[in-house]
A and B are shown apart, each in its own frame.
Chain A
């Protein structure tokens, strides 16, 4: 297997868009290709992550439409679906095919247009990520799953709900503080106070509006090449040091959802391939679709002991420049969560962080970064570890 790198990244602003999924993807793709100093015709395959495009716009064969729109008709084009982890899975597959030598240059990313749907339909469609026969009929929403995670966490570790809620509010506050300075973020320029967070309406107890990510439109794309090619064409190639992917079934089959097994397996694979440990990671973009999800992920990735994640937030360990900088982009919470594009946007942020291009939210001296993306009810977990290649 040969070394593989990210040669260019691009993303649209996340939020509400009047553009179609194909149009948004085309914008992100062209930006990524331009950054890589390659020409469009150099791309040998197009991999597009997308969760619910069929329902949102009545569009299947989305990857083919995306490829054709930027003049790449004729190349193999494939859509990858792993709910919110879709584009991480697309990038991992681009990595695998480039590593194998079948392709030298693959365009991978994701696109999603959720805001075209009313909130109730969007909630129904995102609920596709739960077991449709045995769990969806209870009206279990996505916030509902993570709400149950929060209550279980409080019970398991003997934490009062009020203390856990305070840590969760601080996760949200940090996300918005970081995202406020990220011009690509849905909440760019918006100041959110602890009072706003505490006073927001209840969605699924104990989660309030500001514990939940927004509904978003957006696209992100990256150019994946062999490390040899990347070193020839750009000055700061970002190497893919390790990847991991894992799966699980229904929510109930996983029992203790404060520690999704698929994360344990996938993260270990990524660390092992990279020959690294959690202590080596300088910056991490992880799946904070809900505030409690960030706390649980920081434990699952090995940054903190199980049951210590909420205390780490209260200590300030996850701030930019803290023990481990978590979600400097604003994360899913403040940057936005166009689900099919989320993983590629995480890779975009880590690449920019390693290249030192993040301005006010820059993690100083970041050399090694990691992404963590979770799809469905912890049913699809995917990880990518990236490091400087210069």
Chain B
């Protein structure tokens, strides 16, 4: 059974201006980022759909001591998509020194940015981003 939405296809979708995800044909629940089976009912019977890109900040951190290849400070957050799933995204166009508990609950628009591959990244990669509205 072929993998319906691979990470390469998911990334290619962003480059074509589409935020792709999976929706289960059995239970209707969305699975994002993609995986082989539905995150809710474990059915393989899913379809590729385009998502709204609307999300809400659930939690965040400002990273001051980064992993190799990243320039601090930068904000990482857990974002709940309008369709239900949570994703990890960088909050962009927002001053890290302004980031406090009031960021939680703020709504924004998901996007992506290209991240340079490194020796361990297994090829090209992107990071999800959230721009607060």
Contacts and interface: CB of A to CB of B under 8 A. Distances in A.
B60 interface: yes
Contacts of B78: 148, 152, 251-252, 255, 257
Interface string A109-149: 00000000001110111011001111111111101100111
Contacts of A201: 64
A144 B59 CA distance: 11
B60 to A, nearest CB: 6
A204 B64 contact: yes
Contacts of A203: 63-65
B67 interface: yes
Interface in B76-96: 76-78, 85-90
Contact of A148 (B61, B66, B68): B61
A161 interface: yes
Given A134-B88, A137-B121, A138-B76, A252 B64 contact: no
A139 B86 contact: no
B87 A139 contact: no
Interface size class of B (residues with CB under 8 A): 35 or more
A137 B7 CA distance: 13
A121 B68 contact: yes
B17 interface: no
B68 A124 contact: yes
A257 B60 CA distance: 12
B101 A155 contact: yes
B104 interface: yes
Contacts of B39: 253
Interface in A48-89: none
B101 A139 contact: no
A120 B66 contact: yes
B29 interface: no
B126 to A, nearest CB: 6
Contact of A255 (B76, B86, B99): B86
Contacts of B101: 151, 154-155, 161
A233 interface: no
Contact of A134 (B7, B74, B122): B7
Contacts of B35: 249, 253
Given A119-B65, A123-B68, A132 B99 contact: no
B33 A139 contact: no
A284 B99 CA distance: 36
B41 interface: no
Given A124-B120, A151-B101, A252-B33, A137 B65 contact: no
Nearest to A201: B64
Max chain A Cβ within 10 angstroms of own Cβ: one of B33, B90, B126: B33
Max chain A Cβ within 10 angstroms of own Cβ: one of B58, B60, B104: B58
Contacts of A251: 78, 88
A202 interface: yes
A57 B7 CA distance: 30
Interface string A191-212: 0000000000111111100000
Nearest to A143: B65
Contacts of A120: 66-68
A248 to B, nearest CB: 12
A324 to B, nearest CB: 28
B67 to A, nearest CB: 4
Contact of B74 (A139, A161, A257): A139
B74 to A, nearest CB: 6
A303 B61 CA distance: 28
B128 interface: yes
Interface string A150-194: 011011000001000000000000000000000000000000000
A187 B35 CA distance: 43
A205 B33 contact: no
Contacts of B87: 134, 252
A125 B120 CA distance: 9
Interface of A: 119-121, 123-125, 127-128, 131-141, 143-144, 147-149, 151-152, 154-155, 161, 201-207, 249-253, 255, 257
Closest 10 CB pairs of A and B: A147-B61, A139-B70, A152-B59, A137-B127, A124-B68, A137-B115, A120-B68, A134-B33, A205-B62, A133-B7
Given A133-B125, A135-B88, A137-B127, 4 more contacts: A123-B67, A132-B121, A133-B33, A139-B74
20 contacts: A120-B67, A123-B66, A123-B67, A124-B68, A131-B33, A133-B33, A134-B7, A134-B33, A134-B88, A135-B88, A139-B67, A139-B76, A149-B59, A151-B61, A152-B58, A161-B101, A203-B63, A205-B62, A250-B88, A253-B85
